[in-house]
Amino acid sequence: MKKILITGSAGFIGFHLVNRFLKDDNFDIVGLDNINDYYDVNLKFSRLDQHGVNGRNMNDCDIYFSTKHHNYRFVKADIANFDFIVSFMKAECFDYVVNLAAQAGVRNSILNPRIYIDSNIKGFLSILEGAAQSNVQHLIYASTSSVYGSNTKMPFSIHQNVDHPLSLYAATKKSNELMAHTYSYLYGLPTTGLRFFTVYGPWGRPDMALFKFTSAILAGQPIEVFNNGKHRRDFTYINDIIEGIIRVIYKPAIGNPNWDGNLPDPGSSSAPWRLYNIGNSNPVDLMDYVSAVEKALGKKAKLKMLPLQPGDVPDTFADVRDLMEEFDYKPSTPVQIGITQFVDWYRSYFEL
């Protein structure tokens, strides 16, 4: 059996990735999460329940076996716990590691900057060191479309420089890409960074727009529409994100033989290090997105128009040509279908 570590497994994307691997008896799966209270921990506990793990009275750094799946274990731990993470990864000898554990949220990074350094910088160092010391075959990690920052040339390409982030969250994710390159160069560790574009879908995060819109509209409360509705977002359905991750896992990064230090390509390297965008590559106007939510709910929204928030990127648009060329894959779920799937889950989860 191949052995895989999925960090952030009680989170939105990590939860779905664990679900996908639980369908494959050829994998020994270990999930890891610190179950922090950035948003409602009961949602995280409910996700763990789906995996057969009761997360409500756990001790840090202990291992818990699933009551539903023979090939799944869960560890409650913080990736910033360097000594534990490195020793644990060395003891387990994982074939693959997917690091989805991170402190997310653009606006929260302005209010609470220190936790982003702890989780996204110190925590990622733990993962890199553990992977390097245990000869991991491929490390995949989450980056974000937020790294494009002040860039305005659309669509956003991995071959563009991204040196002007607009939030500390974005800066930490760009730092992850640089840190990964260092380990790929020094130790030959294959690393692949995936820049996710506005992920949404069932079991999503309460701090994201779709969750907030749905909750407010059903409660008859106004929804906050930033930049006076003039955002365009490359909304990407969760199943498309998971399929992209799966395809990338099985193809470890290799060095680009044509990489030239005189004209350095920001998206590849002579080291086994790569970056890819994973986005729907079909930006949607924010007001059209709101209309799609209204249609799925069968209820009109009350709008509270607000200015552009500090740290926000006005528009996102993913260039996914590299993903298509190397993995024969492109996300394709239409927004209306994805939103309907989320609304159906929301009504079921909250018993509405």
Beta bridge partners of 156: 318
The answer to whether residues 274 and 195 touch, using CB atoms and an 8 Å cutoff, is no
Question: Which residues make beta-bridge pairs with 277?
Answer: 195
Residue 25: per-residue pLDDT: 87
Coil, helix or strand at residue 2: strand
Instruction: Say what the pLDDT of residue 154 is.
Output: 96
CATH of the domain at 172: 3.40.50.720
Task: Judge whether 70 lies within some domain.
Answer: yes
Quote the CA–CA distance of 265 and 178 in Å, as a whole number: 13
pLDDT computed for residue 157 by the predictor: 98
Q: Which domain holds residue 116?
A: 2-204+236-280+317-333
Has residue 348 been placed in a domain? no
Question: Which portions of the chain are predicted below pLDDT 70?
Answer: none
Does any domain span residue 26?
yes
Rounded CA-CA distance 22/74 in Å is 13
Structure confidence by residue, pLDDT tens digits, 22-67: 998 899 999 999 999 999 999 999 999 999 999 999 999 999 999 9
Structural element, H or E, at residue 65: strand 63-65
In a domain, 173, yes or no: yes
Using an 8 Å Cβ cutoff, are 245 and 256 in contact? no
Query: What is the structure's pLDDT at 24?
Result: 87
Identify the bridge partners of residue 33 per DSSP, sorted by sequence position: 76
Amino acid 188 reads G
Interhelix angle 41-50/12-22, rounded to 10 degrees, is 0
d(CA 271, CA 254): 7
If you write DSSP's letter for every residue of 214-263 in order, what string do you get?
A: HHHHHTTPEEEEGGGG--EE--EEHHHHHHHHHHHHTS-----TT--TTS
Nearest to 10 by CA among 42, 38, 44, 43: 44
CB neighbours of 50 closer than 8 A, spacing ≥ 6? 15, 19
Q: Is residue 342 part of a domain?
A: no
| Residue 338 belongs to some domain of the structure | no
From the list 116, 169, 200, 289, the catalytic residue is 169
pLDDT in tens, 160-188: 999 999 999 999 999 999 999 999 999 99
Domain count, the chain: 1
Q: What is the pLDDT of residue 127?
A: 98
Structure tokens of 289?
Answer: 């997105």
Which pTM value belongs to this model? 0.96
Considering the domain boundaries, does residue 200 fall inside one?
yes
Domain assignment present for 46:
yes
| 187 is annotated as an active-site residue | no
